[in-house]
Amino acid sequence: MGTAISLFCGAGGCSLGFKQAGYKILMATDIDKAAIETYKLNFPETDTLLKNIDDIDFNEVMVNYDLKEGELDFLIGGPPCQGFSTAGTRFWDDPRNHLLKSYINALKIMKPKWFMMENVEGLLTSNKGIYVTEAVKAFTELGYKVRVEKVYSQEYGVPQRRKRVIVLGNSLGMDFSMPKPTAKVTGQIFRNSDVTLQNAIESLPDASPKRNHTVVAQNFVPRDEFDSYLRAKTEEITEHFFTPLKGIQLERVSALRSGQTMKDLPEHLQHESFKKRANRRVADGTPTEKRGGAPSGMKRLHSNEPCLTITGAATRELIHPFHDRPLTIREAARVQTFPDNFLFFGNSSQKIQQIGNAIPPILARTIAIHVEQKYGFTNKSNSKKGELLGFALTKAGAMSPALKKTNELLASLMSNRESKQKEFILEF
């Protein structure tokens, strides 16, 4: 059984995936009180710490768990990317990079055999590519072999279009690969009948119009292994309720067809704030619609495709494919691959934010199993030299000027490797 410590643990999506893979989570920490309470509900066997990472003494953590340097198998979770420009300040002196600095310090002290850092795809261009480049440089200077990859969650069984950046590394001197996708993406449409929104939520009973009402599902026969996993042997379904829409809100939602958004509605049904946002101009004078499109607001989801990305706005903006209402908290949790017996603490806003911030457990489990079964935790090399082994950050054939800069910075870290001959393309 592998051991892990989770930093920036949130509600515990990553922890759940690693737990499902057989790991023992020794400790989890976060600064979000509601998220920590959620974590406690679902991981009573794990010690939790409500504390800023800057204030954690990792030498003390090592003593508390009787760990010596290099004995921890996995450090999971990654610091949120602040997304600021350094404005000429030296990167590590910029106080806005304190979370990454503390994360690096944790790695330096504990020296886990493996670490996994997950972040939004905006990490690739944050600080003009400096953030991810400096992070990788720091990891390699600590002796880690590192790979950086943008993953498409739907390729790993998550019924959701969700792109995230994974930085994976080990201090064991091993070359390694990321887990291979289990499905394929073709163009803009994901063609896999099993990894769809409908497959994720159709076995749920009807949602209740009564707030905080627990729905009881009887005589449940799982459709497949994924459905059985989601139901997790519980008949009481929590967080599966909605507030009935009225007036113009109901008119708007009723008018939406699959795949349509606010911009597809008649002008009299468009929200005033949407009209203003749709026509706003950015600092350089370019209209929003010429910079990738106006904000879409509400979206009627397709049932036979992966869901759009679950965020903290999912229960306001993502409209059920058949019913005239947004997704429920439980439906959003299922899309993120949280099983029905996973409980959430806090008000509705806090719960959906926890779900939206989480790493899908099935994605985390895939990585956890891949590392343990294919590589393990035994030093197989005498080489202690850290290096960037490679990066694969898009499936597209073009990149923006910002990403071209990031590409150059990361490629420069591999300038002495034969694998530099590989073509690296990034996408924003």
Q: How many other CB atoms are there within 10 angstroms of residue 382's CB atom?
A: 6
- Residue 364 near residue 19 (C-beta atoms within 8 A): no
Catalytic, out of 9, 14, 81, 307: 81
SS3 76: strand
Torsion angle, CA of 125/131/134/138, rounded to 10 degrees? -130
Told to judge if 9 belongs to the known catalytic residues of this protein, a careful annotator would answer: no
- Residue 333 near residue 355 (C-beta atoms within 8 A): yes
Place of tokens 């996408």: 427
Residue 373 has phi, psi (to 5 degrees) of: -80, -35
Tokens matching residue 145: 């072999």
Q: How far apart are CA 1 and CA 53, in angstroms?
A: 26
From the list 31, 36, 27, 30, the residue with the least C-alpha distance to 62 is 27
Q: Alpha-carbon Rg of the chain, whole angstroms? A: 22
Q: Residue 307 pairs with which residues in a beta bridge?
A: 160
Give the DSSP letter of residue 122. G
Q: How far apart are CA 423 and CA 163, in angstroms?
A: 20
Place of tokens 């898009």: 394
- Residue 114 near residue 142 (C-beta atoms within 8 A): no
Q: How far apart are CA 1 and CA 381, in angstroms?
A: 22
Positions marked active-site: 81
